[in-house]
Amino acid sequence: MSKKTTENKETDNNLPTEQENISQPKCFIIMPIADMPGYETRHFDRVYNHIIKPACIKAGFEPVRADDVTNSNFIVLDILRKIVEYDIAICDLSGRNPNAMYELGLRQAFNKKTVLIKDEKTTNPFDVQAFRHVEYDSSLRIDNAYANINSITKALTSTFQADNDEVNSIVQLLKIQPASVGEKTVLSTQDTLIFEAIQEISKKIDSSMRTENSITNNSSNSANGSEYDWRFYRQLQRYGVEQLLELEYRDQNNNNLGKFKGEATVDGKRVYVFVNKNKHTHIPTDSSQVYDLTEDIPF
């Protein structure tokens, strides 16, 4: 990617001008959105705002995170489209978030350029040890943050400019045909096997994290003489949206709402989305109905 000429003066906050935004390549940010065990509240918002976003802007990319996507009735579809179509992506492996791992797998299946980053606390997952990554300081100390921004900026620029033959994904490493998008997504037999393996790994990681959280919370609750809380709004407070995805819930009338798919914007309002087969249920995030939803546990 070509550097900006010195004739283009930067603004005080180093943000690109409106004219630059029109042709500016986009970088999709794959990372934990909700709070995670072992990290302070809103930790990853600070990582995004103080390290990842400045690095993208400095490298000449417009950063887009999943929670920036608000113009779709079904937000998940729009996010998946951006994961596949954007010029480049950054994936933060910190905390081994299951959704981030799944989105990285999707990006790799289509052989799309991706910069891997993680904090110093996270062990590099075995499946991606063959690929270079940039490490950042989770304490977000200002002196280290500045160096981290520069490292990620260089990684973005070199990855974007790299020859297409350079190994950037498992698909390339195995020398198999990547997935392609036309009127329908076409997956080869090898791609299908990779996707199934990625989904299985994601489920195992997710299950392990839920079990660990449940044991911790049950121990805490037992000490207080109370049992595990199956209420949706309590689980949201404790785990965050991402940790509840794909769990099934029932309403106050014991109707099965189906699987929780996350948040979306419908007619200008934020709603929780539940899907039961082909039926979509939207419940406003500020509705009292939220307090009546309970997890549906199969016995």
Residue 134 to residue 69: CA distance in whole angstroms: 26
> 91-102 burial, b for 16+ CB within 10 Å, e for fewer?
bbbbbbbbbbbb
Architecture of domain 232-295: Beta Barrel (2.40)
Residue 44 to residue 121: CA distance in whole angstroms: 14
Helix axes 189-223, 232-239, angle to 10 degrees: 100
pLDDT for the residue 87: 84
Token pair of 232 as six digits: 């949706």
Topology at the third CATH level for domain 22-175: Rossmann fold (3.40.50)
Token pair of 184 as six digits: 């329908």
pLDDT for the residue 221: 47
Task: Kindly tell me the burial class for residue 40, based on how many C-beta atoms sit within 10 Å of its own C-beta (0-12, 13-18, 19 or more).
Answer: exposed
pLDDT for the residue 67: 79
Mean pLDDT by 10 residues, the chain (299 residues): 42 43 81 89 94 95 82 62 88 90 84 90 69 89 93 93 64 53 57 64 59 51 51 85 88 89 90 91 90 75
Contact 51, 136 (CB under 8 A): yes
Q: Which of 235, 240, 247 is nearest to 298 (CA)?
A: 247
DSSP-derived secondary structure letter, 231: B
Task: Kindly tell me the burial class for residue 125, based on how many C-beta atoms sit within 10 Å of its own C-beta (0-12, 13-18, 19 or more).
Answer: middle
3-state secondary structure of 7: coil
**Cβ contacts of residue 26 below 8 Å, gap of 6+?**
61, 62, 63, 64, 82, 86, 87
Domain range summary for the chain, segments of one domain joined by + = 22-175, 232-295
Contact 109, 136 (CB under 8 A): no
Token pair of 88 as six digits: 């480049």
pLDDT for the residue 222: 43
Residue 229 to residue 233: CA distance in whole angstroms: 10
Q: What is the pTM of this model?
A: 0.53
Dihedral sign, Cα of residue 264, residue 76, residue 251, residue 229: negative
Q: Which of 14, 99, 24, 12 is nearest to 64 (CA)?
A: 24
Residue 205 to residue 211: CA distance in whole angstroms: 10
